[in-house]
Amino acid sequence: MVWQEGRDALWRASSERDVSLHTGKGCADALRERGYEVALVDVDLEVAARLRESRIDVAFIALHGRFGEDGAIQGLLESMGIPYTGSGVLASALGMDKVHSKLLFREHGLKVIEYRVFPSEKAGRVTVGDLPFGLPAVVKPAGEGSSVGVHIVREADSLGEACRDAARYKGDLIVERYLKGMEVQVAVLNGEALGAIEIVPKHEFYDYESKYLPGGSQHFYPARLPETHYRAACDAAEKAHSVLGCSGVTRSDFIVPSDGSPYILEVNTLPGMTATSLVPEIAAGNGISFAELCERLLEGAALKA
């Protein structure tokens, strides 16, 4: 069992550390409920030594953000010969990198919102003139999750500040056209869509607080879409899961405008597994308890390289 509670500053660098702690505790409790012996492993620069000392049979990865979701811990586990849950090194790295994943999605026929990429060092010099689609626009870092560093910019005077803030995080800077539509998330388990859930955030978009604070958003499962639009979102999520080469469970995020075309935003290769997380909610809507979901993920643990 891998649980991010490292003391080392490098591993604390993940902007999603708090979410990892909640996911880790929840998954550990669920697996114990199913009769498994669980060892909680501190993840820091000494994680390899801790894993050897623990003599674990399999690693259940309950990490989000840098070092846990981006292929880093997956690579370590591969080199140590320890089977693990979730996606492999390449799929994890691609899922975390919005620039390269968008290129793959577009290459395989998935709808991607028009966007531009800027190096982080140019953040303070990005102007509306650099955006062929103009404003409003969405500014985000290319290498973060959980809506960290994301801004909706409606006024030209706010663009520079938003870009500078997003540039504080890992990766290039992405600025994409703002597309109004329903926020829909689709869970895919072992290559098959479990279903699509609709999110109505209390804030302007599904930001960090909307995702993780109780009452931060309303959820409608199944998503309130016509059947053909609902199926299109599920099909797109299955395709995105396959395109990246994912394993286990993923959550694909979409904007669905009025014409029903799902525009993919990203694939989360290690989606949240907290009390307010969407994948457990979708699974519950299919009669799969949280403990059963964790056990299914554990049963799929393997080396991927």
The answer to whether 231 is a known catalytic residue is no
Give the domain CATH number at 13. 3.40.50.20
The per-residue pLDDT for 3 is 45
pLDDT at site 276:
75
Q: Which of 101, 146, 147, 217 is catalytic?
A: 146
Both 188 and 291 in one domain: the answer is yes
- Indicate which residue of 16, 69, 172, 198 is catalytic: 16
Q: What is the pLDDT of residue 6?
A: 43
Known catalytic residue at 192: no
One domain, residues 203 and 288: yes
- Regions of the chain where pLDDT drops below 50: 2-12
- For residue 210, the domain's CATH number is 3.30.470.20
> Is 190 tagged catalytic?
no
Catalytic residue (one of 26, 68, 145, 272): 272
**6 shares its domain with 58:** yes
In-domain check, residue 53 = yes
283-297 in b/e form (b: 16+ CB < 10 A) is beeeebebbebbbbb
| Per-residue pLDDT at 230 | 98
Give pairs for 101-109: CB < 8 Å, separation 24+: 101/244, 101/266, 101/267, 104/243, 104/244, 105/240, 105/243, 105/264, 108/239, 108/243, 109/239
User: Is 259 among the domain residues?
Assistant: yes
Q: Please report whether residue 201 resides in a domain.
A: yes
Angle subtended by helix axes 227-244 and 89-96, to nearest 10: 120
Does 106 lie in the same domain as 203?
yes
Residues 101, 81 share a domain: no
pLDDT the model gives residue 216:
66
Does 251 qualify as catalytic in the annotation?
Answer: yes
81 is catalytic: no
pLDDT at position 201: 83
On whether residue 273 sits in a domain, the answer given is: yes
Considering the domain architecture, whether residues 163 and 187 belong to the same structural domain is answered as: no
Go through 134-165 and write b for each residue having 16 or more CB atoms within 10 A of its CB, e for each that does not: ebebbbbbbbbbbbbbbbbbeeeeebeebbbe
Q: Say how far apart CA 286 and CA 236 lie, in whole Å.
A: 20
- Predicted TM-score (pTM) of the model is 0.90
Query: Do the domain assignments include residue 304?
Result: no
The pLDDT, as a whole number, for residue 67 is 82
Residues 6+ apart with CB under 8 A from 114: 132, 133, 176, 177
Active site residue 88: no
**Residue-number span of the structural domain to which 28 is assigned:** 2-85
CA–CA separation, 247 vs 191, rounded Å?
Answer: 7
Query: Could you tell me if residue 59 is inside a domain?
Result: yes
What integer pLDDT is reported at residue 5 of this predicted model? 43
Q: Which two tokens stand for residue 235?
A: 């099909």
Same domain, 248 and 162: no
Q: Does 213 share its domain with 285?
A: yes
18 with 138, same domain: the answer is no
Catalytic residue status for 15: no
Which residue in the list 84, 212, 230, 263 is annotated as catalytic? 212
Please count the CA atoms within 13 angstroms of the CA of 140 that sit on its side-chain side: 24
d(CA 279, CA 300): 17
Among 153, 177, 201, the domain boundary falls at 177
**Number of continuous H segments (helices) and E segments (strands) in the chain:** 10, 12
| Domains of the chain: total | 3
Q: Do 153 and 203 have their domain in common?
A: no
Catalytic residue among 97, 144, 172, 266: 266
Strands 151-153, 137-141: parallel, antiparallel or unpaired by DSSP?
Answer: antiparallel
Boundary of a domain, candidates 124, 153, 177? 177
How does pLDDT run across 8-46, given as a tens digit for each residue? Answer: 444 445 557 788 888 999 999 999 999 999 998 878 888
Q: Where are the alpha helices (DSSP H) in the chain?
A: 17-33, 47-54, 72-80, 89-96, 98-107, 156-166, 208-212, 227-244, 278-285, 290-299
Q: Are residues 102 and 219 in the same domain?
A: yes
Same domain, 77 and 123: no
- Among this protein's residues, is 272 annotated catalytic? yes
- Look at residue 305 and tell me if it is in a domain: no
Q: Has residue 258 been placed in a domain?
A: yes
